[in-house]
């Protein structure tokens, strides 16, 4: 399902996790347009915005958008960051996250390599 509307991009808001909150304002909408948008609320998809330029067919992504799911490596890094914050607050680790990340991932890599020597 898709809907095409003329919109105006409102000021954006940056989030702690580096995501961005986008707000668009439309002209007055027909009831069926409102219903279409309401039926898509909470779903994931692509937003292709152009400031009154033509959008070319090849610019439209064919793959499904998956905003909710992080890659496995992104999930690992996010968990390691939380551990880093926890250990930093307790005073059990002093240093940058970059060093912490390298140390922890290298330790895990070595653990996996040791399994190959079976």
**What pLDDT score was predicted for residue 19?**
87
49 and 88 both lie in a single domain: no
- Consecutive H or E run containing 111: helix 97-116
Residue 14's domain comprises: 7-59
Which ranges in the chain belong to alpha helices (H)?
A: 31-40, 72-90, 97-116
The answer to the question of residue 65 being in a domain is no
Q: What is the reported pLDDT for 109?
A: 93
Angle between helices 97-116 and 72-90 (to 10 degrees): 120
- Separation of alpha carbons 118 and 110, rounded Å: 14
State the pLDDT at residue 68.
57
Q: Which two tokens stand for residue 53?
A: 């330029």
Strand-pair partners of 111: none
pLDDT attached to residue 111: 92
Question: Phi/psi class of residue 52: alpha, beta or left (left: φ > 0; alpha: ψ in -120 to 50)?
Answer: left
In a domain, 64, yes or no: no
Q: Is the pLDDT of residue 104 over 90?
A: yes
Distance CA 3, CA 36 (A): 7
CA separation for the pair 93, 21 (Å, rounded): 34
The CA angle 63-65-68, to the nearest 5 degrees, is 145
Mean pLDDT to the nearest integer, 29-41: 91
Q: What is the pLDDT of residue 92?
A: 93
In a domain, 1, yes or no: no
pLDDT of residue 22: 92
**What domain count does the chain have?**
2
Q: Which residue has the higher pLDDT, 80 or 55?
A: 80
Give the mean pLDDT of 77-85: 93
How large a percentage of the chain has pLDDT more than 70? 93
């Amino acid at each position: 399902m898709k809907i095409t509307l003329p919109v105006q991009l409102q000021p954006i808001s940056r989030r702690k996790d580096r995501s961005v909150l986008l707000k668009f304002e439309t002209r007055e909408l027909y009831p069926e347009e409102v219903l279409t948008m309401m039926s898509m609320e909470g779903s994931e998809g692509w937003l292709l915005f152009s400031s009154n330029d033509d959008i070319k067919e090849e610019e439209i992504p064919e793959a499904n958008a998956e905003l909710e799911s992080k890659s496995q490596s992104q999930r690992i890094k996010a968990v390691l960051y939380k551990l880093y914050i926890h250990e930093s607050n307790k005073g059990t680790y002093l240093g940058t996250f970059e060093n912490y990340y390298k140390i922890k991932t290298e330790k895990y890599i070595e653990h996996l390599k040791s399994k190959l020597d079976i």
